[in-house]
Amino acid sequence: MKNVKLTLLACLTSLSLVTSVPSLAQKQNLGIFEGHGDIGAVLKPGSASYNAQTHQYELSGSGYNVWFDHDEFQFMWKRIKGDFILYTRAALVGKGVDPHRKVGWMVRSSLDGKSAHVNAVEHGDGLTSLQFRRTTGANTEEVRSKITGADVIQLERKGNTYTMRMAKFGEAFVTEQVTDLDLGDEVYVGLFVGSHNKDVLERGVFRDVRISVPAHDGLVPYRDYLASNLEILDVATGNRKVIFNAPKSIQAPNWMPNGKTLLYNGDGLMYTFDLAKGKPTLLNTGAVKNNNNDHVLSFDGKMLGLSSGVKELGGSIVYTVPATGGEPKQITPKGPSYLHGWSPDKKTLIFTGSRNDEYDIYSVPAAGGAEVRLTDAKGLDDGPEYTPDGKYIYFNSSRTGTMQIYRMKPDGSEQEAITNGEFNDWFPHISPDGKWIVFVSFLKEEVKSDDHPFYKHVYLRMLPISGAGRPKVIAYIYGGQGTINTPSWSPDSKRVAFISNTAESSVSPVEK
């Protein structure tokens, strides 16, 4: 019997038998994946599952290794064509047996054990590496990362270039890359666990699993749009939850003070989103129907400020309207004027305005009246927002050549930088309890300091209101413009709503 068993297990290295394994699991809920199975002649069968309550995936796998000319491991996969970005937070369970047990993302040409592949992997001893086999049966090559102990794993394909981005949660990515790796247009993409010991099963747990399809090179900004995922982030744990998919662009969710409703813009219109029902409802804004993502609720949630394009008046114009809807009242006489904040007493609005070809921050009475210029530094000043106590206005400015977060007194005095320019930082949002700032950070190598485009690699970072210490990354996102342009904190200061993007909304299903 032993020889018969080993013979049968060896047969699993053939593509025909390996691809039949997932058919046994079709009744399972596999989340965003299509199938799973053991790759190669493993001695101990592995398993894979998806927990619809926690939105986590768990895999157990054995196998001698993923190395040399063949592999043995457990694989949970789906087939994808074209470019993609894979993201997860992953961890091996327990102390384990072999220090080189593995957990990570895998991309393979086939399900054969000798298939060409690439993987972004975290080892049990903390070694972080990008491993790849260029052709079927060739020896595996490796590029070791400069960091160890990463638990955030991202793997991106653009043509035949694969980029691994790894981080310890809270820190920025460290990047490695392999080029000219032709795995074919349609590939098997998925999560994997290997024990590095044929006699042992090891377990791995994956959370915040995302597969995004990025913008193609010919996309025209502000004309062509990707699909949008409305997500909620727990700032203490970093856990994310997709609560709604939109096939078009939706942007800039505000959180209403009742804690039960979000507000966002899409196609020039405003929508409320009932968190319990998981459905949007059109908000009446009368004749003002060219709204952009600079919309802000008053601190009490009773009034809504809008920014809506009016070509005849020079661009975006500021309006106010009851939060329940109605006919908006025009506040600024000319554009471009982009609203970003209300004072806590509802008497003053602050906005970014272009006057004489220079973008600065202005205040204006909420009832309408004369504008007051608050900043005059060369370069773009943007994103102003009051603290809940009304003592400061936080904003972002490119005056040093890098976009940084600043703060000033409400009269424009005592302007000082809060961030150090490591990234291009935009749109500071202060938590309702007044303790924290969340902002979006663009990579300098991708984006100019005075721009905040769609569809880039961005971080959400958090910093104490004092500016002390180093900002912590709380989310790693494919997004940018529209992700978090407006105040997005929940009333209890525990969660943040934001938008991520993908060309195919089906790869990130709503997590109920």
| CATH number of the CATH domain containing 283 | 2.120.10.30
The span from the CA of 346 to the CA of 194, in Å, is: 58
Question: In a 3-state reduction of DSSP, which class is residue 40?
Answer: coil
Q: Are residues 34 and 124 in the same domain?
A: yes
Instruction: Tell me the chain's radius of gyration from C-alpha atoms.
Output: 25
Q: Are residues 154 and 120 in the same domain?
A: yes
The answer to whether residue 234 is domain-embedded is: yes
Final residue belonging to a domain, choices 212, 243, 261: 212
Q: What is the pLDDT of residues 241-276, one digit of tens each?
A: 999 999 999 999 999 999 999 999 999 999 999 999
Q: Are residues 111 and 31 in the same domain?
A: yes
Q: What is the pLDDT of residues 51-96, one digit of tens each?
A: 999 999 999 999 999 999 999 999 999 999 999 999 999 999 999 9
Give me the number of domains the chain comprises.
Answer: 2
Q: Are residues 300 and 175 in the same domain?
A: no
Q: Are residues 243 and 190 in the same domain?
A: no
Q: What is the pLDDT of residues 311-326, one digit of tens each?
A: 999 999 999 999 999 9
Q: Are residues 33 and 156 in the same domain?
A: yes
Query: Strand runs (DSSP E) across 256-292, as ranges?
Result: 261-266, 269-274, 279-283
- The H-or-E segment that residue 395 falls in is strand 393-397
CA distance readout (Å), 241 to 164, 344, 498:
23, 30, 10
Q: Are residues 358 and 430 in the same domain?
A: yes
Residue 365 has pLDDT above 80, yes or no: yes
Q: Are residues 358 and 256 in the same domain?
A: yes
pLDDT tier, 19 (very low <50, low <70, confident <90, very high otherwise): very low
Residue-number span of the structural domain to which 479 is assigned: 227-506
The answer to whether residue 432 is domain-embedded is: yes
Contacts of 230 (CB under 8 A, 6+ apart): 242, 243, 244, 245, 246, 250, 253, 262, 264, 273, 497, 499
Which pair of structure tokens corresponds to residue 252?
């800039």
Pairing of strands 152-158, 141-148: unpaired
Q: Are residues 243 and 348 in the same domain?
A: yes
| CATH classification of the domain holding 132 | 2.60.120.200
Query: Strand runs (DSSP E) across 447-508, as ranges?
Result: 456-464, 472-479, 495-502
Final residue belonging to a domain, choices 154, 185, 212: 212
